[in-house]
């Protein structure tokens, strides 16, 4: 078995891998709390899970043993994997997590708590988490993930060792896709379009519907020629995000419900099965409530992803206007990019990018999505009279 194989899914993160390997084998210092940060798609959760596998595997993360397979599936007895379903993670959930984290390791090694999207913890939840990190049990290691260190309270981040991932280069993302069976040209195109987001690149390369929805988003800039088109474009952006969110929800919700019903005996026979299934109503309602909360988050995240795709289009326009020697994320649409570049100036393009970023901020502040997007499309409109 080959040590450190679990780090193979990290693209272009050699320095991070070096730090984590040194910590796992005892040569680089192992602390009780870690904070993994990096832009979306950089692989912060992948890095944290690979580190967890290396800590729990007797062969230092070989990727082949039962322990590594269990970590990958999230079922290892000494791994607590936390993925907030909704927009926030409450204090009650955090207190329950702290109690579970305090238990002794089942296999006598480490007990690892991997908290994805730790920035979703509410203020009260963060306070409860702080107490656990300040005084952790001797065999417990906390791995927190967030887009940036600033997304967590100073009191928490000051007690964590910071691991910062970067946006991986196109070639590194493409190489991972090629190892998974994607053709070279398709892998490169998906890697460029994803702006280094590995999961997004994988989906664009393998899901025709996801690629089609992205193409619809990239048609928006040339549509904005009138007031009516600005409002129509806003509606189409929202609908594209809803379609993306629906596809994601369908992929997640049905298996969860099936697993729950199987756990209560559906499909089985024998004494007590019917009673057990009738008694599952409360658990089903709880699952549906969690899924509804997650649906809100997924839809917001899908719209934010559409806005990032739109920003990448204008970024390419600006690169052409400035004759910058950079790789175009949307090279297959170069004719459209040049058409818009010739009909505007760099200052206008910068203002359009700022309008997209402002829209993202307002969505994060829970402004009604359609209102926020309509304001943005008016600001993007090509006619000066429509620019806010």
What residue ranges define each of the domains in the chain, with the CATH number in brackets? 5-164 (3.40.50.300), 227-386 (no CATH)
What is the SS3 assignment for 15? helix
Say whether pTM exceeds 0.85.
no
Report d(CA 175, CA 11) in Å as an integer.
8
Q: Given this model, what pLDDT does residue 277 score?
A: 46
Q: Hey, what are 79's tokens?
A: 């791994």
Per the CB < 8 A criterion, the answer to whether 44 and 165 are in contact is yes
Q: Given this model, what pLDDT does residue 366 score?
A: 83
Average of per-residue pLDDT values in the chain:
85
The predicted-structure confidence for 338-358, as pLDDT tens digits, reads as follows 999 999 999 999 999 999 999
Query: Comparing C-alpha atoms, which of 198, 53, 166, 61 is closest to residue 114?
Result: 53
Residues of the chain under the 70 pLDDT cut = 1, 86, 249, 251-295, 382-388
Q: Given this model, what pLDDT does residue 282 score?
A: 60
Per the CB < 8 A criterion, the answer to whether 382 and 341 are in contact is no
What is the SS3 assignment for 166? coil
Q: Given this model, what pLDDT does residue 311 score?
A: 94
Report d(CA 20, CA 161) in Å as an integer.
11
Q: Given this model, what pLDDT does residue 388 score?
A: 38
- Strand-pair category, 33-37 with 79-82: unpaired
- For helices 208-218 and 281-321, the axis angle rounded to 10 degrees is 50
DSSP 8-state assignment for residue 121: B
The predicted-structure confidence for 12-30, as pLDDT tens digits, reads as follows 899 999 999 999 988 888 8
What is the SS3 assignment for 144? strand
User: 104: burial class by Cβ within 10 Å (0-12, 13-18, 19+)?
Assistant: exposed
Per the CB < 8 A criterion, the answer to whether 311 and 357 are in contact is yes
Per the CB < 8 A criterion, the answer to whether 46 and 172 are in contact is no
Q: Given this model, what pLDDT does residue 276 score?
A: 46
Q: Given this model, what pLDDT does residue 384 score?
A: 45
The predicted-structure confidence for 296-312, as pLDDT tens digits, reads as follows 777 888 888 889 999 99
Q: Given this model, what pLDDT does residue 28 score?
A: 81
């Amino acid at each position: 078995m080959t040590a450190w194989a679990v780090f193979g899914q990290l693209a272009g993160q050699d320095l991070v891998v070096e730090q984590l390997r040194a910590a796992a084998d005892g040569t680089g210092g192992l602390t009780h709390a870690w904070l993994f940060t990096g832009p979306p798609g950089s692989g912060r959760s992948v890095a944290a899970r690979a580190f967890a596998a290396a800590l729990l595997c007797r062969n230092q993360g070989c990727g082949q043993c039962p322990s590594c397979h269990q970590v990958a599936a999230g079922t290892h007895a000494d791994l607590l994997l936390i993925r907030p379903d909704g927009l926030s993670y409450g204090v009650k959930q955090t207190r329950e997590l702290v109690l579970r984290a305090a238990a002794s390791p089942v296999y006598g090694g480490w007990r690892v708590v991997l908290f994805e999207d730790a920035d979703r913890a509410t203020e009260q939840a963060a306070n409860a988490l702080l107490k656990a990190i300040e005084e952790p049990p001797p065999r417990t290691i906390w791995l927190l993930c967030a887009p940036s260190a600033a997304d967590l309270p100073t009191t928490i981040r000051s007690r964590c060792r910071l691991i910062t991932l970067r946006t991986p280069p196109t070639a590194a993302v493409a190489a991972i896709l090629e190892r998974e069976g994607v053709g070279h040209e398709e892998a490169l195109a998906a890697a460029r379009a994803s702006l280094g987001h590995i999961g997004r690149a994988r989906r664009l390369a393998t899901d025709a519907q996801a690629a089609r929805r992205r193409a619809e988003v990239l048609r928006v800039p040339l549509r904005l020629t009138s007031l009516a088109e600005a409002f129509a474009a806003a509606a189409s952006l929202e609908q594209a995000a809803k379609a993306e969110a629906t596809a994601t929800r369908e992929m997640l919700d049905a298996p969860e419900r099936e697993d729950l019903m199987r756990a209560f005996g559906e499909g089985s026979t024998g004494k007590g099965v019917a009673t057990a299934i009738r008694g599952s109503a409360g658990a089903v309602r709880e699952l549906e409530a969690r899924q509804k909360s997650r649906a809100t988050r997924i839809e917001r995240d899908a719209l934010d992803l559409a806005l990032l795709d739109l920003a990448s289009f204008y970024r390419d326009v600006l690169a052409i206007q400035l004759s910058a020697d950079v790789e175009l994320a949307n090279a297959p649409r170069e004719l459209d990019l040049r058409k818009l570049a010739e009909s505007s100036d760099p200052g206008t393009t910068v203002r359009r990018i700022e309008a997209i970023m402002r829209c993202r901020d307002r969505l994060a502040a829970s402004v009604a999505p359609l209102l926020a997007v309509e304001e943005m499309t008016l600001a993007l409109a090509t006619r000066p009279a429509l620019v806010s």
